[in-house]
Structure 1
Amino acid sequence: MAQIDWHQPWLQTWREPGLRVAQAVAGAMPLHQALNSEPTAPLRFVPQSELPDGQAYEDYIFKTGQCPTREGLHDFFNGLCWLCFPQTKKKLNQLQAAEIAAAGVRPVRGPVRDALTVFDENAAFLSAPQALWDALITKDWQRLFIDLRPLWPQAQLVLFGHALLEKLVYPRKPITAHVYRAQVAINSIAYLDAWVAQDLSAEKLAGKPFAPMPVLGVPGWWPENENFSFYDDSLVFRPRR
């Protein structure tokens, strides 16, 4: 956690609770206890050893209101997601539990559970003018990040997926988010949380309503993209098939 640069623009949402929890862990407090010390914790964090053998992780959370937690960055950011987006995380867990109850735990996840996992691990929320969204959907990277660059101050991008946040501790050009459109202005994280939780459904997620976007291409998020040759890398900014 000492490697986290809390001044990065994508960590603005997470900075305040993240610093508190990280400092508690640095003082030798177990991660689950540090998360439980936050007043906004919507459930109880417990050591990973509390998860019974053979029980699905999502099913355990749904039935007990407890989240098994391992030491390390992955579960650190997962815990922060529960603190900052409690309604969205609860809705995702309810949808996972419903799928498990209906079909059991299978070697291959179905389309809804696949989409739920992608959302939980790698989603980002974008509220933006229609022109930016259209360019993102068509993977017109030149238009999205260069021609329409003056529109980006009107956009709001908030990262959500805890694996995405973990990867960005060590920023690399290819890191890509699965962007979910927030069709509202992001007035606050609490407002966004409530809107996303209401908007999510198994039917919508089964259609994979995501648009991939290399997040370090966002204007103002990475110094190297001020040189527009940054976007010429076709292995990262891939054309639409």
Structure 2
Amino acid sequence: MQAREAEPPGFAAIDWSKPWFAPFAERGKRWQQAALTSYQALLAEMNADAGELRQSTGRGQRLAFIAQDDLPPGAAYEAHIAATGCVPTRHNLHDFFNASMWFAFPRIKAALNARQSAAIDALGVGSSRGGVRDMLTLFDENALLFACADAALGAALRGFDWHTLLVARRDAWGAGCEVRCFGHALMEKLVAPFKACTGHAWIVDVPAGYFEWDAMKREAFLDESVAAALLGTDALTSRMFAPLPVLGIPGWWPDNESSVFYDDTSVFRAGRRAR
């Protein structure tokens, strides 16, 4: 008899004490309770926040959340958001975290939507997204924001120099660099974390004083800086990212207190740049 596959984790499994979720916990806990009540309760909670904060999408339309079934047949997801401000949202973790990023990093989300919808206008939906839309989708789904005030740490990340970044310079985390999760598919995976779970890090140069700012000011700086880069860079490619295994981030997983954790070359790979 074939074994039954395990059910995917649901809303109750979100642990807001985890460092990757903690920055979003205040709103997230409210939404979680709504999601556990019903689909309609979740949409109502999201729209109440959208109405209060007056968020907008890539073309300045007022942000709102609608049921997935309300997306008109044949309409492209990103183009619909740009034209109407309405984000089709399913009652699942993937779309829950997607919606949460519209509040945590509204400028980045609006920039992604603006670039995606512009590409659709220019080239149509097509059978494939093309390089720019692929990059934007990868960012939206799997990005980590790596805030860095020390160029040597950014170089170590790009060079797959895990020992420097995560062991020898461990004391620099929180003082010279830090990470914020952004990709909603990545956050969905981190509800049930595993060692090989890897994000695509987007390096953000920050001033040294950044690490003395409060969380709200840091997030606003990241939001503005990254959005400006996404809108101001013509040649967006996936090579702009650097892979970063999430559970290797100092302070994010108990097992990485031992340097032996990083000896697993199936996760902490040498990488083509290092070779």
Q: RMSD in angstroms over aligned alpha carbons?
A: 1.5
Which segment is superposed worse, 199-208 or 86-95? Answer: 199-208
Alpha-carbon distance in structure 2 between the residues aligned to 1:213 and 1:227: 18
What is the alpha-carbon distance in structure 2 between the residues aligned to residue 40 and residue 228 of structure 1? Answer: 44
Runs of 4+ with >3 A deviation = none
Q: Are 1:75 and 2:86 counterparts?
A: no
- In the TM superposition, what whole-angstrom CA distance separates every residue of 1:73-97 from its partner, at most 9, and x where no partner exists? 0000001001111111111001001
Partner of 1:196: 226
Matching residue's letter, 1:4: I
Equivalent residues in 2 for 1:26-105, closer than 5 Å: 26-28=36-38, 30=40, 31-38=42-49, 39-40=52-53, 42=55, 43-105=63-125
CA contact 1:41–1:82 (8 Å) conserved in 2: no
The alpha-carbon deviation at position 200 of structure 1 amounts to 1.1
Secondary structure of the residue aligned to 1:78 is helix
TM-score by length of 2: 0.84
* Identical amino acids, percent of aligned pairs: 46
Structure 2 residue matching 1:109: 3-state secondary structure: coil
Partner of 1:3: 13
Q: Is contact 1:119–1:178 with CA below 8 Å preserved after alignment? A: yes
Q: In structure 1, how many angstroms separate the alpha carbons of the residues matched to 2:250 and 2:108?
A: 27
Deviations 1:49-99 (A, max 9, x none): 111111110011011110000001000000100111111111100100110
Change (3 A) 1:53 1:29: closer
The residue number in structure 2 matching 1:171 is 193
Q: Which residue of 1 aligns with 2:4?
A: none
Does the 8 A contact of 2:65 with 2:86 survive in 1?
yes
Question: Which secondary structure does the structure 2 equivalent of 1:169 belong to?
Answer: coil
Secondary structure at 1:14 match in 2? helix
Q: Which runs of 5+ in 2 are unaligned?
A: 1-10, 56-62, 211-216
- Residues 162 and 268 of structure 2 are in contact (CA less than 8 Å); yes or no, is this contact kept in structure 1? yes
Letter in 2 for 1:139: F
- Give the aligned residue type for 2:226: V
TM-score by length of 1: 0.95
Aligned length: 241
Determine the C-alpha separation between the residues in 1 that align with 2:265 and 2:131. Answer: 29
Query: Runs of 5+ in structure 1 lacking a partner?
Result: none
| Residues in 2 aligned to 1:40 and 1:146: alpha-carbon distance in whole angstroms | 41
